[in-house]
Structure 1
Amino acid sequence: MNPLLCDFLIYLEKEKRYSIHTISAYREDLETFFEFLEGIDPKNVTKEHIRFFLGHLLRHGMARRSVARKLASIRAFFKYLLHRGVVEKNPAWTLRAPKIEKKLPRFLPMEGLIRALESMPSQNPLDIRDRAILELFYGSGIRVSELVRLNLQDVNLEQGTIRVQGKGGKERIIPLGKVTVATLKTYFQHRSALGPSSGESAFFLNAKGHRLTTRGVQTLVWKRLSLLLHQGNFSPHLLRHSFATHLLDQGADLEAVKELLGHASLSTTQIYTHLTSDRLKRVYQQAHPRAESSKRG
């Protein structure tokens, strides 16, 4: 691996405190770029090199969103080199990413999701754990990476709060509703049945008594929701989207939702307002006597 790339990845881990998955994505993007350059020293990379690389990816059928991500990785890498004094300018700085269509996040209907959660079985400790996990996703909007990092000391069931470590190592305190707290308390009472090893600090455990992995949580969410709601592509992030959308539907303040989700920018949270405004438009079209006046006349 190029020594400068190695230094950059260490910087992302130690100083930016990015997650393993984020660092892995940067590494993949930049290794692909340097393989394409065939040995060109990063100090000699120009805007034309990068533009040709991006065009090559598009010509070979790569999705615009993926190409845009690779450009973002290249831009961040050269920004790091610029700050270190390795290069005199960032060759990717003025390059524009290919235009991509913004996909509105999917979410589940409130009534159907609540019915599904309330109908979950509770016959054994794994059933109880999975109910608690789904309730926590929907009741707090946390990311899957934040859930698997939860330790016992991060969950305060008396105060009804959890402390999570978000992107970039930023901590936030999230309040929980009564239903979520109740399911977490029930799980905690059965946690020892999963056989935690001595000193295991993870709040959520797998069947062997160890900390759950991201993949393990993704799998159990998919299996549980598939059984309850049948068809669909179910994921923890779908519950996060549902959490945010339902809050805004019920009149929650956008800034408050931003803080709950752990977004760095309000613009990231604003995408959910498109979902709620679309719903309001449909309600208006269906209910208001003047909405379809041209057809009534």
Structure 2
Amino acid sequence: MVTFFLQHIKFEKRLSHHTVTAYENDLKQFSAFLLFQYELEKPEKADFQMIRSWIVALVEEQIENRSINRKIATLRTFYNFLLRHKAIITDPMLKIKALKTDKTLPKYVEEKPMENLLDGMEFSDDFSGLRDKLVIELLYGTGMRLSELIGLKITDLNLYNNILTVLGKRNKHRLIPVNRTLVEVIKKYLALRTDIIDDTTNTYLILTDNGTQAYPMFIQRLVKKYLSLVTSLEQRSPHILRHTFATHLLNRGADLNAIKDLLGHSSLAATQVYTHNSIEKLKKVYQQAHPKA
């Protein structure tokens, strides 16, 4: 049933490759635990006590509660699938509750460091340098996800109207406006890309030095390299630039619903987390400026 479930979320639900892989890994870990601890080969036969004992084992391994909750969510989705397909009679996840987690605000890079990186730093004029600058500009200038950046194709660009089309989660398309500076970087990159890349069948926008489609680790290393030059944040990932995009927009008065649409969030609740950063910033300004503070 695990195989059927994975096919269901991949082909019917059309979840992203990253999400499907995470679900698959969680179910593999759970299945291995059941086999070792209870000699149970089929996870659909597991009961509440077995699932609870796995969660306890994860806690004892000092895995973060947030990560454990993601695994709990995987099992919840899996057993709900089994219940709907009448593979089980009762849902063993009904009594399982998520673990408490500390609410952490999204980390982001301040405006001045980002300005120093994009406007003050000299990127090389060769293909690699222009590609690197484009990656940073795209992630910060559009707030797109890592997977969306990697999947971006030349045909998704509408440079005449300064718009690009992004394929997001659940195969949903959304339009994102791009600024003139970013458009100029794209044009320079495309001109150089045409000169050095012989493979006309490769339509992906961001390529490695070898002319192949960029992959997650490649982009992660690239982003970490450049963010390390301007920030001391412990996490220097593509997702930090997504947080930075949203926070900077909100700090400058952008409408929350507009940010939601730009990020491709399905609900406003996911976007509202950025308001806390803005409120904290307002508190600091108040404390420093108001005579009665």
Q: Same fold (TM over 0.5)?
A: yes
Pick aligned residue for 1:25 from 22, 35, 38: 22
Aligned residue in 1 for 2:140: 138
Return the letter of the residue paired with 1:224.
Y
Shift of 1:146: 0.2
CA RMSD of aligned residues (A): 1.5
Pick aligned residue for 2:6 from 6, 9, 16: 9
Aligned residue in 2 for 1:49: 50
Aligned residue in 1 for 2:189: 187
Shift of 1:74: 0.5
Cα distance in 2 for partners of 1:122, 1:42 equals 53
Return the letter of the residue paired with 2:255.
D
Shift of 1:88: 2.0
Shift of 1:43: 4.1
3-state SS in 1 of match to 2:164: strand
Cα distance in 2 for partners of 1:17, 1:286 equals 49
**Amino-acid identity (%):** 38
Name stretches of at least 5 consecutive residues in structure 2 with no aligned partner: none
CA contact (8 A) 2:145 2:238 kept: yes
Cα distance in 2 for partners of 1:196, 1:214 equals 23
Aligned residue in 2 for 1:171: 173
- State the Cα deviation string for residues 36-86 of structure 1 (Å, max 9, x = none): 222154443222221121112112322211211111111010011111111
Shift of 1:230: 6.1
Rate the CA distance shift 1:241–1:82 in 2: closer, same or farther, 3 A: same
Matched pairs, number:
287
Moved over 6 A (4+): none
Q: TM-score of the superposition, structure 1-length normalised?
A: 0.92
Rate the CA distance shift 1:123–1:75 in 2: closer, same or farther, 3 A: same
Cα distance in 2 for partners of 1:241, 1:107 equals 6
Q: 2:59 aligned with 1:66, yes or no? A: no
CA contact (8 A) 2:113 2:231 kept: no
Shift of 1:175: 0.7
Rate the CA distance shift 1:93–1:134 in 2: closer, same or farther, 3 A: same
Return the letter of the residue paired with 1:256.
A
Q: 2:117 aligned with 1:116, yes or no? A: yes
Q: 2:76 aligned with 1:75, yes or no? A: yes
